[in-house]
Each structure stands twice: as C-alpha cells, then as structure tokens.
Amino acid sequence: MEAMGIDIGGSGIKGASVDITTGELTSERHRIETPEESTPDAVVHVVKQVIDFHQWHGPVGVTVPGVVIDGTVYSAANIDKGWIGYDARTALQDELGEHVAVLNDADAAGIAEVRYGAARGRSGVCLILTFGTGIGSAIINDGVLVPNSELGHLEFHGMDAEQYAAGRLVKRDTGDIGWWIERVNELLLHIDRILNPKTIVFGGGISKRFDDIAPHLTARAEIVQAELLNNAGIVGAAMAAGEGSIT
C-alpha cells in the first residue's frame, strides 16, 4: 500500500509517496522552503503545492513540529504561534479533499525507525532524537510510541535544550563541530540520567556526520545512527496515514 508523507520543518516542507510495506519512497522527494511567515494558512498552501506536484490522490500524512493531539496542534516552537490550538487535520482534509493524519514530526521519525530502521527489534526504552532546526524526540518502549515527548524543550543551562544544542547552531560552511558535540554530549548525559534508555538513535540532517560525532558521546545508552536520515519523517507520516495509527 502507498500513502503520501509530508514533513513540515522549520526551513523546508518536503514530501514523497511511500510504500508502507517496505518503507521505501516511490516518488522523488519534492521540497519547498517553509514560508518566512509560517502561519497555518501559508503552510497549508505549500502542502497543497507539494501534493499537486506529485498529482497525488489518496491518504496523506503530515508532520508538524509541535505537540499534536487528535489532529490539533498545541505548541509551536519553530513555526508561527498561530498553530497553537489549530485543528490541522480538519483544515488539511478540507484543503486536500483526502484522508489526512497529522502527528508530531519526531514521533513520525520514531515510528519509521522502529519499523524500518535503527530502532527495529530493540527492546526496552529507545529514544530517537532528531537534531535540526530544533531537537525533536520520540520515546519508544518495547516498540510502542509514547507520543509528544518534546525533550528539546527541557530546561537545560537555563534555556530550552534546543537553544543550547540544536543542529541549526552548527555553521555548515566549516568543518569544526567539536564545540557543538560537547554540548550534545552534555545533553545526552542529562537525558540518560532522567530516562535511562537502552538505546538512543541519533537522527536529523547532521547525523550524516555520525562517524565524527559518535566517538565523543559518553552516555551509558547504546547510541546508533538513524538509518532513514531525512526521509524518516516522510515515511512515518505515510505510515500514520495508511495505517490509521501512530502507535
């Protein structure tokens, strides 16, 4: 079965169709920059453009960088505050004319990694962290998602954790990420003491440099590289749409 996955990020909105029996993308990934004023209306318009690019008809899953409960968004750290209290599922269904599932972006990445990636077959608490514009988190216990964990907003050093260690802080035009790795390691040690996960899956765009990062991470948990990388949100969104569940 195929479904469309759309991943709304702080910098870009990207989507592709996915074979949810294999987790493989069945179309090219199409990306449009997130509007500077990322209001619900503006973002929904871009989601429609991505759908139209693919000429897609069928179930659509959409991720949002915020807490999502029953299709309504309850936080908005890296998008316009107008999303808070916004019934995204109803608005998207009205705009697209298709069945739509809406879920937290890191939760989508988490369920994709559990089904097809680095978290597959792992028992106990497995934590998926995505380092990008912010820090997304998905908590998995024996393969079951505990949704909307939002660990990027833990208070750490007197600020949100993602203000201290998000991937966006890395200057991409230099090779020096040592200072950032030190911050990430501090955060992982803190989270390790709170949740005691057996496994931490390290994701987000910067995870492509995992070989440089991993030797400097000292948390007790086993730390592994995400396998689906930047496609994880798309795949998880498609799963939620095609299967009607995010657990």
Kindly state whether residue 76 falls inside one of the protein's structural domains. Answer: yes
List strand residue ranges (DSSP E) for 10-160, in order.
12-19, 24-25, 30-33, 60-64, 68-69, 72-73, 86-87, 100-104, 125-131, 135-141, 144-146, 155-156, 159-160
Regarding whether 103 and 153 lie in a shared domain, the answer is no
Regarding whether 222 and 129 lie in a shared domain, the answer is yes
Kindly state whether residue 238 falls inside one of the protein's structural domains. Answer: yes
Range of the domain at 197: 121-227
Burial 169-186 (b: 16+ CB within 10 A, else e): bbeeeeeebeebbebbbb
Regarding whether 19 and 100 lie in a shared domain, the answer is yes
Regarding whether 141 and 102 lie in a shared domain, the answer is no
CB count in 10 Å sphere of residue 26: 15
Residue 185 maps to which CATH number? Answer: 3.30.420.40
Q: At what angle do helices 105-116 and 232-243 cross, to 10 degrees?
A: 90
Answer whether residue 33 shows pLDDT above 80. Answer: yes
Regarding whether 157 and 99 lie in a shared domain, the answer is no
> What is the average pLDDT across 204-208?
89
**Gap between the Cα atoms of 98 and 94, Å rounded:** 8
The domain total for the chain is: 2
pLDDT digits (tens, 9 = 90+) for 52-65: 999 999 999 999 99
Tokens of 112: 């994709």
Regarding whether 101 and 138 lie in a shared domain, the answer is no
List strand residue ranges (DSSP E) for the chain, in order.
2-8, 12-19, 24-25, 30-33, 60-64, 68-69, 72-73, 86-87, 100-104, 125-131, 135-141, 144-146, 155-156, 159-160, 199-203, 222-225
For 88, 225, 240, the CA distances from 228, given in Å and listed in that order, are: 26, 9, 16
Kindly state whether residue 206 falls inside one of the protein's structural domains. Answer: yes
Kindly state whether residue 170 falls inside one of the protein's structural domains. Answer: yes
Q: Is 224 exposed, middle or buried (0-12, 13-18, 19+ CB in 10 A)?
A: buried
Regarding whether 62 and 12 lie in a shared domain, the answer is yes
Answer whether residue 173 shows pLDDT above 60. Answer: no
Regarding whether 99 and 19 lie in a shared domain, the answer is yes
Kindly state whether residue 116 falls inside one of the protein's structural domains. Answer: no
pLDDT digits (tens, 9 = 90+) for 112-158: 999 999 999 999 999 999 998 899 999 999 999 999 999 999 999 99
Residue in this structure with the two tokens 């095609």, named with its chain if needed: 242
Residue-level pLDDT at 88: 98
> What is the average pLDDT across 88-110?
97
Q: Which of 112, 116, 126, 131 is nearest to 221 (CA)?
A: 126
Residue-level pLDDT at 118: 96
Residue-level pLDDT at 41: 97
Residue-level pLDDT at 172: 60
Tokens of 109: 């990445």
* Mean pLDDT, rounded, of the chain: 94
Regarding whether 210 and 126 lie in a shared domain, the answer is yes
Regarding whether 130 and 83 lie in a shared domain, the answer is no
- 199 pairs with which residues across the strands? 126, 222
- Above pLDDT 70, what percent of the chain? 97
Comparison of pLDDT for 49 and 10, the residue scoring more = 49
Regarding whether 54 and 144 lie in a shared domain, the answer is no
Regarding whether 132 and 82 lie in a shared domain, the answer is no
